[in-house]
């Protein structure tokens, strides 16, 4: 288990006064003090980690956010922002001595601006609600995490979330063009807006994916795209993982960027088929879902090309959706894969490493060996197009030692991802879960630069501490210039 920073006893001792002060800022039910109310916020979707927050605050206005942060900064009280609590990495895990700042009341779609192809929304609006609001104009918001009915835009911004369509349409970072941010000091800054690019440092770019540690997002401008006029999906089965992996590489090598390209292994196919009866072939080791979107002429052209590539790579089944209903059915199994796996195991951990596509076959085989080593099963459902793996490690939290084994398994998978040239997380974030693995990918100097960025926004490390970095930021130390006796470290280097 990952250990969180020890609580500040002085803050805990003042809890009553803190709650009273917060009530002065956010009236009525906006401050939740009773334990039963706080319980609802004790974890996010990384349910293995739980912590009752000191107090929950649900602000309704930007002015309240500013006031709460100012008060907390002045009194050195930690703050953990939260959207819908669907983070899979523990990004929204509360701290015993921190205010949990829930942004759920920021749930207004401020404007759909078709002329500028964007929407202005509050951070508590769900991902799907943006698309639903834009739909009457033939527009949509492209990033579509599987959690899109629940997760919020604020959470998406913090995690730089992806989805099945990000291969072609990009992650959150490529589709958010502005945010309004309140810093820990309570300053409001506008980063980006309805225009392109920024005039100075791209702070919008660093806020996206910063896991709630640089500021609290109070408004977001997202890019809207026209809904593709049509799409068809192919369901392609392979007798081995290798063939499926080669097929993925060949499709991209042929210059085709599908709207989505997903892979499932035997265990995942079986679980999904049992759950939603999507008509998946059960006699294959790997299944690809390839979606091609665009105008009819383009879709037909690409479907033919992909069919040909699939055949050349040894596909044993290949079905092309003949109707919109059938396309959705092909996807139904994939979209329900996590809950489907949830039906065959009391608990599971969802991992999220990315690897170079050409290593997919090899990595999946090594995971099979790890299953034996840890005595646990692992199902694979993932974004094959961009090499983003989602191994689901099945375990039973009630069996002593299984969670530890599952965590060990997960860590070995992520280390393997880094070893083959990949990364620890493709879209779920580091959070608590992968925090102590950061050293596998980054050395101290690398982490210091990231922390220097953090220090520019939050010198006292009050905003969401204990996440992402294996060690808390020591801003004073990191900011120091290395002066010894009035001189720099290397005063006598020769001239070049």
Partner 1 sequence: MTLLQPKDAAEAAEMILWAGSERASLEIRAGGSKGGLGRPMRADHVLDASRLAGVVDYEPAELVLTARPGTPLKDIAALLAAQGQMLSFEPPDWRELLQGGGEPTLGGTLACNLSGPRRLRAGAARDFFLGFAGVNGRGEIFKAGGKVVKNVTGYDLCKLMAGSFGTLALLTEVTIKVMPRPENACTLLLPGLADEAAVGLMAGALNSPHEVSAAAQLPAIPARRLGFADSALTALRLEGPAPSIAFRAEALQLLFGSGPRLDAPESEAFWRKIGEVAPLLSLPGRVVWRLCPPPSVAPKLVAAILEKSPSAEHFYDWAGGLVWLSLDAADAGPDAGASLVRAALKPFGGHATLMAASEETREKVAVFEPEPPALAALTRKIKQGFDPYGALNPGRMREGA
Site for partner 1 in 226-285 (CB under 8 A): 226-229, 249-250, 252-253, 255-257
Read off the tokens for 24: 């002065």
Decide whether 211 or 265 has the Cβ nearer to ligand FAD: 211
Q: Does 155 bind ligand FAD (CB under 6 A)?
A: yes
Q: Which two tokens stand for residue 108?
A: 């207004």
For ligand FAD, the closer of residues 246 and 433 by Cβ is 433
Does residue 333 belong to the site contacting ligand FAD (CB under 6 A)?
Answer: no
Binding-site member from 2, 22, 43, 45 for ligand FAD (CB under 6 A): 45
- Would you count residue 446 as binding partner 1 (CB under 8 A)? yes
With CB under 8 A as the contact rule, the residue among 7, 294, 408, 470 that binds partner 1 is 294
Q: Exactly one of 59, 162, 260, 422 binds ligand FAD (CB under 6 A); which one?
A: 162
- 135 binding partner 1? (CB under 8 A): no
Pick one of ligand FAD, partner 1, none as the site partner of residue 158 (Cβ within 5 to 8 A by kind): ligand FAD
**Is 363 exposed, middle or buried (CB count within 10 Å of its CB: 0-12, 13-18, 19+)?**
buried
Contact segment (CB under 6 A) with ligand FAD among 82-90, 233-241, 371-379, 432-440 equals: 82-90
Check binding of 439 to partner 1 (CB under 8 A). Answer: no
Interaction partner, residue 86 (partner 1, ligand FAD, none; CB < 5-8 Å by kind): ligand FAD
- Position 44 contacts ligand FAD (CB under 6 A): yes
- Please tell me whether residue 451 binds ligand FAD under the rule CB under 6 A: no
Is the four-CA dihedral 142, 145, 149, 150 of positive or negative sign? negative
Which residues in 448-487 contact partner 1 (CB under 8 A)?
448-450, 452-457, 468, 478-479, 481-482, 487
Does residue 324 belong to the site contacting partner 1 (CB under 8 A)? no
* Pick 223 or 335: Cβ nearer partner 1: 223
Position 9 contacts partner 1 (CB under 8 A): no
Shortest distance, position 138 Cβ to partner 1, whole Å: 7
151: contact with ligand FAD by CB under 6 A: yes
Nearer to ligand FAD, 4 or 45 (CB): 45
Based on CB atoms, which residue is closest to ligand FAD, 81 or 243? Answer: 81
Applying CB under 6 A, which residues contact ligand FAD?
Answer: 44-45, 80-88, 91-92, 103, 123, 145-147, 151-152, 154-156, 158-159, 161-163, 211-212, 216-217, 338, 427-428, 464
């Amino acid at each position: 288990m990952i250990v969180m920073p020890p609580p500040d006893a002085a803050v805990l001792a003042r809890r009553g006064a803190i709650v009273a002060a917060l009530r002065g800022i956010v009236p009525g039910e906006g401050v939740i003090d009773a334990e039963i109310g706080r319980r609802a916020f004790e974890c996010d979707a990384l349910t293995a980690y739980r912590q009752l927050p000191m107090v929950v605050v649900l602000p309704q206005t930007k002015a309240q956010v500013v006031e709460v942060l100012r008060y907390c900064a002045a009194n050195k009280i930690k703050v953990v922002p939260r959207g819908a609590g669907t983070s899979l990495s523990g990004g929204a895990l509360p701290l015993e001595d921190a205010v949990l700042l829930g942004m759920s009341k920021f749930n207004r779609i401020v404007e759909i601006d078709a002329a500028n192809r964007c929407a202005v929304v509050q951070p508590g609006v769900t991902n799907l609600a943006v698309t639903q609001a834009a739909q009457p104009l033939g527009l949509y918001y492209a990033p579509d995490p599987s959690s899109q009915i629940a997760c919020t835009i604020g959470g998406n911004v913090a995690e730089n979330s992806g989805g099945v369509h990000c291969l072609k349409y990009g992650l959150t970072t490529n589709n958010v063009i502005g945010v309004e941010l309140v810093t820990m000091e309570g300053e409001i800054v506008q980063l980006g807006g309805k225009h392109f690019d920024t005039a100075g440092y791209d702070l919008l770019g660093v806020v996206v994916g910063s896991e709630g540690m640089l500021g609290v997002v109070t408004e977001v401008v997202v890019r809207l795209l026209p809904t593709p006029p049509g799409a068809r999906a192919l369901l392609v089965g392979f007798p081995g993982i290798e063939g499926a992996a080669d097929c993925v590489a060949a499709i991209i090598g042929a210059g085709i960027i599908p709207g989505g390209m997903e892979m499932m292994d035997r265990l995942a196919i079986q679980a999904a088929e049992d759950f939603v009866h999507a008509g998946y072939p059960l006699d294959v080791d790997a299944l690809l879902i390839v979606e091609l979107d665009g105008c009819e002429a383009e879709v037909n052209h690409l479907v033919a090309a992909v069919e040909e590539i699939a055949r050349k790579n040894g596909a044993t089944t290949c079905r092309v959706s003949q109707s919109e209903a059938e396309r959705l059915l092909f996807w139904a199994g994939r979209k329900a894969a996590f809950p489907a796996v949830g039906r065959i195991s009391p608990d599971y951990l969802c991992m999220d490493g990315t690897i170079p596509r050409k290593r997919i076959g090899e990595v999946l085989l090594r995971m099979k060996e790890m299953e034996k080593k840890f005595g646990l099963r692992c199902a694979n459902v993932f974004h094959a197009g961009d090499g983003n793996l989602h191994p689901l490690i099945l375990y039973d939290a009630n069996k002593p030692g299984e969670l530890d084994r599952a965590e060990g398994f997960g860590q070995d998978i992520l280390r393997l991802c880094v070893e083959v040239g990949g990364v620890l997380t493709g879209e779920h974030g580091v959070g608590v879960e992968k925090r102590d693995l950061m050293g596998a990918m980054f050395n101290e100097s690398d982490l210091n630069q990231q922390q220097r960025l953090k220090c520019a926004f939050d010198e006292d490390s009050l905003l969401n501490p204990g996440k992402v970095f294996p060690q808390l930021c020591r801003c004073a130390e990191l900011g120091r210039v290395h002066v010894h006796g009035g001189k720099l470290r290397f005063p006598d280097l020769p001239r070049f």
